[in-house]
Amino acid sequence: MTVTARAPAKVNVHLGVGSLRADGFHELRTVYLAVSLFDTVTVGPGDGLSVSVTGEGAGGDVPTDRRNLVWQAAELLAAHAGVPADATIAVAKNIPAAAGLAGGSADAAAALVALDELWGTRASRGDLAGLAARLGSDVPFSLAGGVALGSGRGEQLSPVLARRPSHWVLGIAADGLSTPAVYRELDRLRAAGRVADGTDLSSPDAVLGALRDGPPAALGAALSNDLQAPAFSLRPELRRALRAATDAGAVAALVSGSGPTVAALTDDEDAAVRLAAVLAGEGVFRTVRVVHGPVPGARVLS
């Protein structure tokens, strides 16, 4: 018997980064949007744990040992439920790694729901959310999906109303960016006085209002990401990539999370398909993907 689950990538349509906390994390105020790019995780019986990773997002440095978040998810759920951590876990990655799309978090969330079914551990959604928060700041959102306001490190979620779907082109770079390195660069720019410090955590109200009842132009005008400046600083060519997206007709574009993926908002699905064709032709990105959001979080498929 095997169980397959899938979980979505996310875009942060608002990412306000506060000051550094005593525990080494920054205080965040973020609005997550789950988008239609999915990883799938298939689990089956095993003797101990084994992890394999395949697919487009598998290149580079995705580990297959206990450093992989799905391995950690399995150990955590097994300990919580008091069952042996026995499973084979096959991760099929469409979400590129280290892209600012929370691919690893998606895999962890999918592994939790798949293993819960395989092992018959019947954890409540609340229990799974608690385990998810221990695995990483974005994992609770990968489990929940939809659109949500995240505070704390991003793991404390409250629901957000989005009246209409939004359509995006994701411009994916050849090389990833390390999330901790981008936060360190933000701290450096702040210490040097080159960007505003984190004392006033930027408010998500404009984005929340635009999601509630605005047209795409209102959402476009409200998009903001405090990690964009440090991502540009580490990867100067990202500025040009972002401009290429707006020059080619995007309503607006921003760096997704810690980057380097560029998320370009369009008026509708047709406009997204047209924009993707132009950007693919220009060769600014390694790949482009047309997606929409919000979509549901981690769920068992079969």
Q: Which is nearer to ligand ATP, 116 or 155 (CB)?
A: 155
Q: Which of 10, 93, 116, 226 is catalytic?
A: 10
Q: Which stretch binds ligand ATP (CB under 6 A): 93-101, 226-234, 239-247, 286-294?
A: 93-101
Say how far apart CA 202 and CA 27 lie, in whole Å: 11
Q: Which of 138, 155, 185, 226 binds ligand ATP (CB under 6 A)?
A: 138
Q: Pick from 40, 105, 225, 228 the residue near ligand ATP by CB under 6 A.
A: 105
Is position 23 annotated as part of the catalytic site? Answer: no
The distance of closest approach from Cβ of residue 34 to ligand ATP in the complex, given in angstroms and rounded to an integer, is 12
Q: Which of 37, 107, 10 is nearest to 291 (CA)?
A: 37
User: How many chain residues touch ligand ATP (CB under 6 A)?
Assistant: 22
Nearer to ligand ATP, 58 or 277 (CB): 58
Q: Check residue 254 for interaction with ligand ATP (CB under 6 A).
A: no
For 10, 98, 203, 281, the CA distances from 105, given in Å and listed in that order, are 10, 11, 25, 31
The total of other beta-carbon atoms located within 10 Å of residue 88's CB is: 17
Confirm or reject binding of residue 92 to ligand ATP (CB under 6 A): no
**C-alpha span between 298 and 301 (Å, rounded):** 9
- Answer whether 40's CB lies under 8 Å from 92's CB: yes
Q: By CB under 6 A, tell whether 17 contacts ligand ATP.
A: no
Q: Which residue is nearest to ligand ATP (CB)?
A: 104
Is residue 10 annotated as part of the catalytic site, yes or no? yes
Rounded Cα distance, 10 and 134, in Å: 19
What token pair was written down for 130? Answer: 């608690």
Phi, psi dihedrals of residue 226, rounded to the nearest 5°: -65, -15
For the chain, the distance separating the N- and C-terminal CA atoms, rounded to the nearest angstrom, is 10
Q: How far is the CB of 176 from ligand ATP (least distance, A)?
A: 6
Q: How far is CA 21 from CA 158, 175, 196, in A?
A: 21, 29, 17
Binding status of residue 104 toward ligand ATP by CB under 6 A: yes
Of the ranges 61-69, 127-135, 223-231, 247-255, which one interacts with ligand ATP (CB under 6 A)? 61-69
Find the shortest distance in angstroms from Cβ 51 to ligand ATP.
8
* 299/145 Cα distance (integer angstroms): 10
Are the CB atoms for 5 and 298 separated by under 8 Å?
Answer: yes
Residue of 107, 116, 138, 226 marked active site: 138
Considering only 18, 145, 257, 297, the residue that binds ligand ATP (CB under 6 A) is 257
Report in angstroms how near the CB of residue 145 gets to ligand ATP at its nearest. 15
Interface map 140-179 toward ligand ATP (x if CB under 6 A): ---------------------------------------x
Place of tokens 């089956």: 44
The residues pairing with 28 across neighbouring beta strands, listed in sequence order, are 17
Read off the tokens for 257.
């999370």
Annotated catalytic residues are: 10, 138
Residues that bind ligand ATP (CB under 6 A): 61-63, 67-70, 91, 97-105, 107, 138, 179, 257-258
